[in-house]
Amino acid sequence: MPGLEFLAPDWCVPTRVRAVMTTRTGGASAEPRASFNLATHVGDDPEAVVENRRRLRHALGLPVEPAWLEQVHGTGVIVLPAAGPAPADAAVTFTRGQVCAVLVADCQPVFLASRAGDRVGIAHAGWRGLAAGVVEATIAALACEPRELVAWLGPSIGPLAFEVGPEVRDAFLAQDGGAAAAFQPGRPGRWLADLTGLVRRRLEAAGVTAVSGGNLCTHTDAARFFSFRRDGATGRMAALAWLD
């Protein structure tokens, strides 16, 4: 079985900012969630998930267990350390030793960090949360000038694989007519959506101009990434960020 593989953001931030994206390799889960599934809600063997999370902590030397969220495709943001779990699709922290985490399998993980290296966060941006404002909510929770933030976009479903109905396009165009550029005609009555392009538009409109990544497609690279749109029953990868 292949070993653990991690992706690191290509961004210019101080070294005390730590950020990692997992892949699907090197874990204990069996098909169809093979093998490094980190989610407890996808029907996997609970013992396999516990083992995978143990391997994650050991491999990365994490200071604590990541703050796993109850993700609901909304705009809630948790500021760590938090008083307790709550539904949310993003987490931020200004405190060393607190690990922000979101789980993904096609949705866009949006990593954010300050140029000063004193704050970090991650948002889980599916189309519903993105249209509702999860990126803007995460930026607001970081409580600094957007121009002082740097963003990296992890793997997500690519523009040739993400076919959606007209209601998705309408939701974005109702707020931003220029978002039409992120939609191309698909099958009759359907559209191919560029999720990463839509995320970039939101970041830039909010004032975050240093944006990189977003060039890896979860749907097309079955060897490295889980994809709910491709497989249905599948695992979840984790996007993690913390301050040393």
Model confidence over 13-56: pLDDT tens digits?
999 999 999 999 999 999 999 999 999 999 999 999 999 999 99
Q: What is the pLDDT of residue 2?
A: 74
What amino acid is encoded at 145 in this protein? E
Reduce the DSSP state of residue 120 to 3 states and report it.
strand
Residue 1, pLDDT above cutoff 60: no
Q: What is the pLDDT of residue 82?
A: 84
Q: What is the pLDDT of residue 188?
A: 96
> CA-to-CA distance for 119 and 100, rounded, in angstroms?
11
Beta-carbon neighbour count of residue 79 at 10 Å?
19
Structure tokens given for 218: 């979860």
Measured CA distances, 169 to 111, 178, 186, 215, 222 (Å): 24, 11, 12, 22, 27
Domains and CATH numbers, the chain: 6-243 (3.60.140.10)
Is 135:206 a contact under the CB 8 Å cutoff? yes
What amino acid is encoded at 171 in this protein? A
pLDDT (tens digit, 9 = 90+) per residue, 88-138? 999 999 999 999 999 999 999 999 999 999 999 999 999 999 999 999 999
Closest listed residue to residue 112, CA positions, set 121, 103, 104: 121
Q: What is the pLDDT of residue 83?
A: 73
Q: What is the pLDDT of residue 86?
A: 78
pLDDT (tens digit, 9 = 90+) per residue, 155-182? 999 999 999 999 999 999 999 999 999 9
Please state whether beta strands 77-80 and 90-93 pair in parallel, antiparallel, or not at all (unpaired): parallel
Q: What is the pLDDT of residue 11?
A: 96
Structure tokens given for 228: 């709910």
